[in-house]
Amino acid sequence: MASAPSSSSTSAGGLHLPDTTSELVKILVAGPFGVGKTTLIDSVSEIRPLHTEEHLTEASVSVDNLAGVRDKTTTTVAIDFGRISLGAGIVLYLFGTPGQERFRALWADIAHGALGALVLIDTRRIDDSFDVLGLVEESGLPYAVALNTFPDSRPYTEEQLRGSLDLEPGTPMIVCDARDTNSSVDALLALVQHLIAAHAASRPAEAVTSAEAVAGAVESGAAPTEGNTVTW
């Protein structure tokens, strides 16, 4: 199992959290196998991300559908983890979840304590997203959908995509490029703005305060100044 050592130079001034940190917010980055979760976390994390990846082998041929992702050679088997320090003492902890059914048993543990989820979708493989969306909805987590763009992605209208994914009218849906830091941060912002409304109706006041603080920090432009941008 591979894990990345911590980098000594980060955009937030180092590995350790500053004394001014006041809010630690856990966000899930979910989606089917090969959709770009690891790439998105790499693109925004201010620290060298933690990855738990293993090489795909012949043993997984019958269970891992490589349609549309033929060049993929590894898969996350536990979590990806990254961190973004925003303004006003806000820190987002990003937890990437495995996308295959056989790792479903990990879901409850990884989702525990999360404020919300960003669900990545590959429009070339929409059917692959249904199980993950079902897990997120069953957990009761508010979520936003990010349509990760690929060179051969087919164009669809918003109405077509919402209908195919059976999204509630209020669920945010944004197009993003997981390789691009600004695009990935925009997707996280769409989620955070949704959390404000969702938690206002269903969670204690302190949860709403956390979401509002995160949204204000992101909107103020206090996102990481550097990202470890990677390619597929």
Query: Would you place residue 99 in the very low, low, confident or very high pLDDT band (cuts 50, 70, 90)?
Result: low
Q: Are 97 and 37 in contact (CB under 8 A)?
A: yes
Work out the mean pLDDT of the chain and round it to a whole number: 75
pLDDT of residue 59: 42
pLDDT of residue 189: 86
- Average pLDDT (104-123) is 88
- Asked if pLDDT for residue 55 goes beyond 60, the answer is no
Query: Would you place residue 18 in the very low, low, confident or very high pLDDT band (cuts 50, 70, 90)?
Result: low
Q: What CA–CA distances, in Å, run from 45 to 11, 147, 172?
A: 9, 20, 23
Q: Are 80 and 52 in contact (CB under 8 A)?
A: yes
pLDDT of residue 214: 64
* One-letter amino acid of 231: T
pLDDT of residue 211: 63
pLDDT of residue 184: 95
Query: Would you place residue 52 in the very low, low, confident or very high pLDDT band (cuts 50, 70, 90)?
Result: low
pLDDT of residue 186: 93
Bridging pattern class, strands 50-55 and 74-85: antiparallel
Q: What CA–CA distances, in Å, run from 52 to 77, 80, 133?
A: 6, 6, 22
- Asked if pLDDT for residue 207 goes beyond 80, the answer is no
Q: Are 114 and 136 in contact (CB under 8 A)?
A: no
Query: Would you place residue 200 in the very low, low, confident or very high pLDDT band (cuts 50, 70, 90)?
Result: low
Query: Would you place residue 72 in the very low, low, confident or very high pLDDT band (cuts 50, 70, 90)?
Result: very low
159-180 per-position pLDDT tens digit: 999 999 999 999 999 999 999 9
Q: Which two tokens stand for residue 157?
A: 């209208």
Q: Which two tokens stand for residue 34?
A: 């090969």
Predicted TM-score (pTM) above 0.85: no
- Asked if pLDDT for residue 204 goes beyond 70, the answer is no
pLDDT of residue 80: 87
Query: Would you place residue 25 in the very low, low, confident or very high pLDDT band (cuts 50, 70, 90)?
Result: confident
219-232 per-position pLDDT tens digit: 555 544 343 322 22
- Average pLDDT (185-191) is 91
pLDDT of residue 172: 96
Which has more confidence, 79 or 71? 79
Closest by CA to 115, choosing from 88, 144, 87, is: 144
pLDDT of residue 106: 78
